[in-house]
Amino acid sequence: MGNKPYIIELEKIGNPSLGYITVAEFQKNIPFEIKRVYYLYDIPSSAKRGGHAHKELQQVLIAISGSFDVVLKDGNSVKIITLNKPDKGLLINYNIWRELENFSSGAVCLVLASDIFKEEDYIRIYEDFLDSIE
């Protein structure tokens, strides 16, 4: 798959009797400077989110509660990754189409982004995405 999305292990500190804290840090386990943080929540299980690619933005998606599927498309293949652990993040580089679906009840998706919101960085039509990677 182009730009190879992959799972990042986030630092997990604690134990079952006291609970855990998970840490995401630039240059330690996040490969970019974090310039924007947002989260998705109260999403109906039948809803789909995402449905776009980015020209330059990198993101790490983390299921901090519940679970959801991330459908990744590079123009040649489709990969589905289920996120369901708060100490695992999915790094998605630019030029990868992403869709989020199958949200469990109470799911929360935390997103760490390499830049602030810029509409001009989005590719929102799949055919335009395919044209951009040829």
Question: Is the separation of the CB atoms in 115 and 56 below 8 Å?
Answer: yes
Q: Which residue, 7, 20, 65, is CA-closest to 40?
A: 65
Structure tokens at 106: 């109470």
- Cα–Cα distance for residue pair 27/130, rounded to 1 Å: 32
The residue type of 126 is Y
27-to-24, 30, 31, 84, 134 alpha-carbon distances in Å: 9, 6, 5, 24, 32
- Residue 134's CB: how many other CB atoms inside 10 A? 5
Active site residue 54: no
Catalytic residue among 52, 64, 81, 101: 52
Structure tokens at 117: 């919101």
Q: Which residues are catalytic?
A: 52
